[in-house]
Amino acid sequence: MKKQSADSNVRYRRFTADDVAAAQALSLSLGWPHRLEDWQFIQRLGTGFVAENEAGVIGTAMCWGHGQEYASLGMVIVPPDSQGERIRRQLLSQVLAEIGDRTILLSASPQGRPLYEQLGFTPFGEVRQHQGIVVQSQAKPIITPLMPGDRIRPIGAADKTKIAALCSRAAGMPRGTVLAALLEVAEGGVVIESYDEMVGCALMRRFGHGYAIGPVIARDTARAKALINHWASSHAGAFMRIDVAGASDLSQWLNQVGLTQAYEMVTMARGEPPLLDKNLHQYALINQSFG
């Protein structure tokens, strides 16, 4: 059912699969690199709303559930004009009503942060977007040698349940649904084992102008670097993107291998943020919408 705005010709309704092409065109117009396939992936896993007028779709906002206690919010895209803030508020009000009482997580730009604070969100961290083209000469010398007993190997069919459990521990919330979908579209995945115990993983998929690395889960920074370097060095010459937690101290190293910092976002929550495992860390997100 469409909802007509009281003071304009803007209408609001649920996001459907038929809106993906229009949403992708809207995101491209604002400089977002998402391919049609990227939009299809996030739409299949989530729920959302669009704003439209006689010209078509002019705004989007989406959300994704992670178990019964958590949800994330993202893909909030509105035109940068006089109507923009009002449209954004209306879209967000519908998404927040859809989510209900779950703790809600999001990544906010400096420009968007004040509005989210007005809606009850508080900051609790940072995420840094790194991107660029890695050349072989940069990647190889900086690789962190594996520790004794460690090895990196491709993901096997029997690993899926263990990977979902590993990612859930690191994120502090259920990841089974999104990981199952991600494994279907990933170009590849590797795990790192220590004496046959899985202690980390990293997936890579096609995204935007090239590839995206994430999530990256590991016990420590040295293993996270080894996992990231596996993909960076094996895809030298390709455009790559990775969104890393600001507390991970990976940014300087990523800049050295050619993945330079492009943006910094603040991570915010309405409700209590997930309780993270002290012995396992999510160094890189799936993306800024899913966390």
Read off the pTM.
0.92
**Same-domain check for residues 243 and 157:** yes
Of the residues 66, 101, 136, which one is the last residue of a structural domain? 101
Instruction: Name which of 132-136, 174-178, 262-266 the model is least confident about.
Output: 132-136
- Residue 170's identity, in one-letter code, is A
CA atoms within 13 A on the CB side of 168: 17
- 144 and 254: one domain? yes
Domain boundary among 40, 66, 101: 101
- What are the helix (H) ranges across the chain? 20-29, 36-45, 84-99, 113-118, 136-142, 160-171, 176-185, 221-234, 251-256
Cα 30–chain centre separation: 18
Residues 202 and 267 in one domain: yes
- Do 185 and 82 share a domain, yes or no? no
Do both 146 and 275 map to the same domain? yes
Whether residue 2 has pLDDT greater than 90 = no
138 with 59, same domain?
Answer: no
| Boundary-marking domain end, from 86, 101, 116 | 101
How does pLDDT run across 111-164, given as a tens digit for each residue? 999 999 999 999 999 999 999 998 765 555 445 678 889 999 999 989 999 999
Domain assignment of residue 20, yes or no: yes
Query: Which residue(s) pair with 64 in the sheet?
Result: 72
Any domain includes 106: no
Domain-located, residue 291: no
CATH number, residue 87: 3.40.630.30
- Does residue 71 belong to any structural domain of this protein? yes
Residue 116 within a domain:
no
Q: Is residue 145 domain-shared with residue 262, that is, in the same domain?
A: yes
Burial 51-67 (b: 16+ CB within 10 A, else e): bbeeeebbbbbbbbbbe
Q: If pLDDT is split at 50, 70 and 90, which confidence band does 186 have?
A: very high
Domain that holds residue 201: 128-284
Distance CA 36, CA 18 (A): 12
Asked if residue 115 belongs to a domain, the reply is no
Residues 175 and 275 in one domain: yes
Residue 113 belongs to some domain of the structure? no
Residue 79: is its pLDDT beyond 90? no
Q: Are residues 45 and 142 in the same domain?
A: no
Tokens 């920074």 correspond to what residue?
221
Number of domains in the chain: 2
Note whether 66 and 156 are same-domain residues.
no
Domain check: are 81 and 177 in the same one? no
Q: At residue 1, does pLDDT exceed 50?
A: no
Q: Are residues 89 and 156 in the same domain?
A: no
In a domain, 263, yes or no: yes
Phi, then psi, of 274 in degrees rounded to 5: -60, 145
Q: What does the pLDDT look like over 19-74, one tens digit per residue?
A: 999 999 999 999 999 999 999 999 999 999 999 999 999 999 999 999 999 999 99
